[in-house]
């Protein structure tokens, strides 16, 4: 049996590496369209892109608006309003990572709506916003 030991080790290590490779990139993968569909179902009404654009642009009575960090146009790199750290474009057509990770989406909507609106955003507001962001395509 002695000769099988190295082979067992090999299989174990290979299996561990394969397991990592298989699970890491796919952990929370979703498309922006899936995410929008989820918010629309929760909202119970159809999303309106124009309403999302208005929400993004307008001041909700607090110091920061969405544009303060994400830039006037969400197709370009923004800048954190207090630290100056670069923030990748928000529109999915300009940044493939956007709206693909549920935990990340929930975390940033919670934080940013609190900072910009002073409360959590409703599913309808999230659906409107996302439908507008998805509609922005490179010319």
Partner 1 sequence: MSLQSTTWIIRVLSAIVAASGFTTIAMADGNGRAVPLLPLYKQECAACHTAYPPTLMPAASWTRIMGNLSKHFGADASLDTVTLKELSNWVNAHAGTYKRVSEEPPHDRITRTVWFDRKHREVSTATWKLPAVKSAANCGACHTKADTGDFNEHNVRIPR
Q: For binding to partner 1 (CB under 8 A), which residues are involved?
A: 6-7, 9-10, 13-14, 16-17, 20, 80, 82-85, 103, 107, 110-112, 114-115
Instruction: Kindly tell me which of 104 and 137 has the beta carbon lying closer to partner 1.
Output: 104
Instruction: Kindly tell me which of 42 and 82 has the beta carbon lying closer to partner 1.
Output: 82
What is the rounded CA–CA span in Å between residue 125 and residue 102? 17
DSSP 8-class letter at 94: G
Q: Which structure tokens are listed for 31?
A: 């498309």
Per-residue b/e over 112-129, b at no fewer than 16 CB within 10 Å? bbebbbeeebebbbbbbb
Instruction: Kindly tell me which of 17 and 29 has the beta carbon lying closer to partner 1.
Output: 17
What sign for the dihedral angle of Cα 102, 97, 56, 35? negative
Residues in contact with 8: Cβ distance below 8 Å, sequence separation at least 6, in sequence order: none
Instruction: Kindly tell me which of 57 and 114 has the beta carbon lying closer to partner 1.
Output: 114
Residue of 107, 128, 124 whose CA lies nearest to 42: 124
Least Å distance, CB 110 to partner 1, is: 7
């Amino acid at each position: 049996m002695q000769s099988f030991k190295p082979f067992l080790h090999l299989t174990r290590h290979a299996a561990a590496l394969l397991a990592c490779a298989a699970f890491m990139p796919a952990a929370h993968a979703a498309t922006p369209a899936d995410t929008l569909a989820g918010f629309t179902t929760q909202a119970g009404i159809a999303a309106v892109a124009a309403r999302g654009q208005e929400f993004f642009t307008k001041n909700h009575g607090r110091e920061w608006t969405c544009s303060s960090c994400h830039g006037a146009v969400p197709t370009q790199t923004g800048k954190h309003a207090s630290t100056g750290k670069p923030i990748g474009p928000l529109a999915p057509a300009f940044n493939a990572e956007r709206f693909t990770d549920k935990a990340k989406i929930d975390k940033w909507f919670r934080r940013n709506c609190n900072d910009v609106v002073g409360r959590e955003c409703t599913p309808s507001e999230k659906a409107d916003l996302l439908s507008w962001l998805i509609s922005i395509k490179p010319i």
